[in-house]
Structure 1
């Protein structure tokens, strides 16, 4: 990888280097590209149950690409806990892959480094055109008004998963459609060893995803039109308090969930310790833990019963993975051929079916693999009521600072502290001051 645009990348990366990888979601430490037009280096994010699982899923597709083009692909599956750091290091050093996966919530932050190839009209045409992609997924590829520097690869959305047997035993016939109904149902289902809802209270990305959705429903944007942070507005305080109150005031979340950060809430749901779960495409994980699709239902994430002024009908962030090209690759044509291949209808159907995600390529969705109850709900959510996370360069900081503030609030609640509006505002004000500082 040639070392160009390093100074521009470093200016933005300096703001981001203190962050942890908080996206939506390895190999050698060398991994740089070279000037051989018959080779590419590809950093794939860990989408499956393990690094080995990803390699098993991806290898057949990469071999098919090599057969079609003659280009060998050096694959490296990067764990989520190191992916952002690896990418940021590559943007400043210039020593990175030709093609890479990024969490789509990082799109604007990484776009601002100048290290990724912009997809202008001509570049989009080289991969089949921008109109092939679902508009909501394409909206999570960079700042509005700029050429995106990534394109969608795997799409996800949040759904409300509910245990059919526990609902039936409690005489509950329908999943809740509003948060008020969810609390009422959760209280009915909270009994002894079972709680109404499971959350990941110590997970920064899970926290901030819900902060965004509740914020949209309350009319909070977290950034103003000039890109300045607005973390502690009354709307933001109300939004985050409502979410934390599932544990703090409503008592439908187990206090131990305040320490969850490694998908333990999925396990609690799968084992009957929780009757409901808010998650992105949980089906594969649930089946790996012994549940069948007949054991659980999937419904849209609830809305407010009485939306406040300015509230939006949003019930999911646009979740997923984008694929990007380093601008200073020595094999730009081969890299774009690879992006075209990975976003082709055939490859999209194969990979998204393996991972239990939704193809962001519209034509690829027209397949029976994506017509299950779960994926139908998530697909409709993605198309109709999902919105991208803030597309600003400071988005990654927002994730870390607000997600951490929420983790602290959950810890306080689990410790018996009352979570007041002032307590929420103080945490958010501190996060905003840290951003501004």
Structure 2
């Protein structure tokens, strides 16, 4: 399932809504849950999946859980947005969910610090589950904040490079690029200009393009984001300046910001069959593991390949890594059925058959070590490329923050101003971004 990117305003609204939970949630995260998990009860599970195939897949796992726990009935509510989730967690009451999932991995820091989701450590300890050994290390890392675990991963996403094999062959390109200098040359070679637009664009580098965000690029550069004291480190991190410099140079090389933006505005929807990679308008695409299935469903008239996204030339030994994200799963702090809720969370997130079947059904990357090694995991070569990216030790997600993903939006907004030429002094822009991030984080504490 792709994590559909939100607008800046919507993302900030979601973060603000979570912050209100700090005054609404009461009690210690370490409180003992009073309910008997063996008693007959009904749990409410809210999730964001909405496509028929996705809903059918999660429902199949719920039915399997109920067969193993006949005393527990699960009522699912699909298509839940983070805004609705935040409101329910804040309000509590009989209509609030017991178990929740979210696609917004960036909000883990806020969920943990506000108490919106229960501390899972007592439950994990009681069940003898070591998150570091059970889950993929990088996914275990992005589901906790400052040592507090309020969520576990439920499948994940890995990002890499899709490429049009027909376009490669016509251009005499025999293999996907591994370094950014190679990538830039390939992107230019694949670009076919047509007047003030393009017949074919090698790659759309703009920060407002499909999945070409600052956060997704940053994993390839090894951006640090914060220093040892928790202060924003954008201006002092050479990787950040290298990222912005590379991106703008590539955009200029491919025709310039304005030409690229005009072309971008003419492209089809990211989630529909007219995606520009599907139509051949863009020859290479930064995207997640779901794109392979979507391309197959679109019945393209050319073969596609997948590989890790290239890395900076001075990090060539890190080739194979990529950006990671995924669904998070937790127990509502306001739930009065936390022991029963834990049984559902534990099953969905750690039962190997459940994780593998769900990963295969919705074409996501498994989040447990056992599921990744399962012989039943899908063996499609495109999909397996992303499974490998997810397991690379250099693959990463941005660090959790007390202010959710607001710091990422600040960096993204700077990137848009920089590529458009509205930010003339990059160093000054980075310093202003640092000041803004630190101010936002201080206000969120």
Band the TM-score falls in, shorter-chain normalisation: 0.7 to 0.9
Is the CA contact (8 Å cut-off) linking 2:18 and 2:111 kept in structure 1?
A: no
Partner of 2:348: 342
Q: 1:19/1:164 Cα in 2 relative to 1: closer, same or farther (>3 Å)?
A: farther
Q: 1:200/1:63 Cα in 2 relative to 1: closer, same or farther (>3 Å)?
A: farther
Match of 1:398 among 373, 395, 407: 407
Match of 1:209 among 215, 231, 237: 215
More divergent stretch after superposition (168-177 vs 244-253) = 244-253
More divergent stretch after superposition (246-255 vs 63-72) = 246-255
Match of 1:351 among 355, 358, 374: 358
1:253-304 Cα deviation digits (max 9, x unpaired): 9334655896279811111111111111121221222238x71111111111
Q: 1:333/1:18 Cα in 2 relative to 1: closer, same or farther (>3 Å)?
A: closer
1:87 and 2:85 aligned: yes
Partner of 2:159: 158
1:247 and 2:251 aligned: yes
Tell me how far 1:378 sits from its aligned partner. Answer: 1.5
More divergent stretch after superposition (339-348 vs 234-243) = 234-243
Partner of 1:45: 48
More divergent stretch after superposition (328-337 vs 368-377) = 368-377
Tell me how far 1:330 sits from its aligned partner. Answer: 1.1
Partner of 1:436: 438
> What is the rounded CA distance, in whole Å, between the counterparts of 2:434 and 2:87 in structure 1?
26
Partner of 1:270: 278
> What is the rounded CA distance, in whole Å, between the counterparts of 2:119 and 2:206 in structure 1?
35
Tell me how far 1:113 sits from its aligned partner. Answer: 1.0
Alignment gaps of 5+ in structure 1:
1-12, 21-34
> What is the rounded CA distance, in whole Å, between the counterparts of 1:231 and 1:122 in structure 2?
37
Q: How does 1:10-409 map to 2 (within 5 A)?
A: 16-17=15-16, 38-46=41-49, 50-70=50-70, 71-78=72-79, 82-83=81-82, 85-95=83-93, 96-102=96-102, 103-120=104-121, 122-126=123-127, 128-130=129-131, 131-144=133-146, 146-192=147-193, 193-199=199-205, 201-202=207-208, 206-216=212-222, 220-233=223-236, 235=238, 236-251=240-255, 254-256=260-262, 263=270, 267-281=275-289, 282-291=291-300, 295-307=303-315, 315-343=321-349, 344-365=351-372, 366-384=374-392, 385-409=394-418
> What is the rounded CA distance, in whole Å, between the counterparts of 1:226 and 1:257 in structure 2?
43
Alignment gaps of 5+ in structure 2:
1-11, 20-34, 194-198, 440-445
Tell me how far 1:51 sits from its aligned partner. Answer: 4.1
Is the CA contact (8 Å cut-off) linking 2:153 and 2:329 kept in structure 1?
A: yes
Partner of 1:25: none
Tell me how far 1:319 sits from its aligned partner. Answer: 1.4
Is the CA contact (8 Å cut-off) linking 1:200 and 1:264 kept in structure 2?
A: no
> What is the rounded CA distance, in whole Å, between the counterparts of 2:179 and 2:361 in structure 1?
32
Is the CA contact (8 Å cut-off) linking 1:127 and 1:336 kept in structure 2?
A: no
Partner of 1:4: none
More divergent stretch after superposition (91-100 vs 162-171) = 91-100
Is the CA contact (8 Å cut-off) linking 1:19 and 1:396 kept in structure 2?
A: no
TM-score, scaled relative to structure 2: 0.78
> What is the rounded CA distance, in whole Å, between the counterparts of 1:15 and 1:104 in structure 2?
12
Q: How does 1:418-429 map to 2 (within 5 A)?
A: 422=425, 424-429=426-431
Is the CA contact (8 Å cut-off) linking 2:180 and 2:313 kept in structure 1?
A: yes
TM-score, scaled relative to structure 1: 0.79
Tell me how far 1:191 sits from its aligned partner. Answer: 0.7
Q: 1:204/1:182 Cα in 2 relative to 1: closer, same or farther (>3 Å)?
A: closer
1:353-407 Cα deviation digits (max 9, x unpaired): 1111111112222235433222322122211220231122134111222223333
Q: 1:363/1:256 Cα in 2 relative to 1: closer, same or farther (>3 Å)?
A: farther
Partner of 1:10: none
RMSD: 3.3
Is the CA contact (8 Å cut-off) linking 1:210 and 1:243 kept in structure 2?
A: no
More divergent stretch after superposition (135-144 vs 234-243) = 234-243
> What is the rounded CA distance, in whole Å, between the counterparts of 1:106 and 1:306 in structure 2?
32
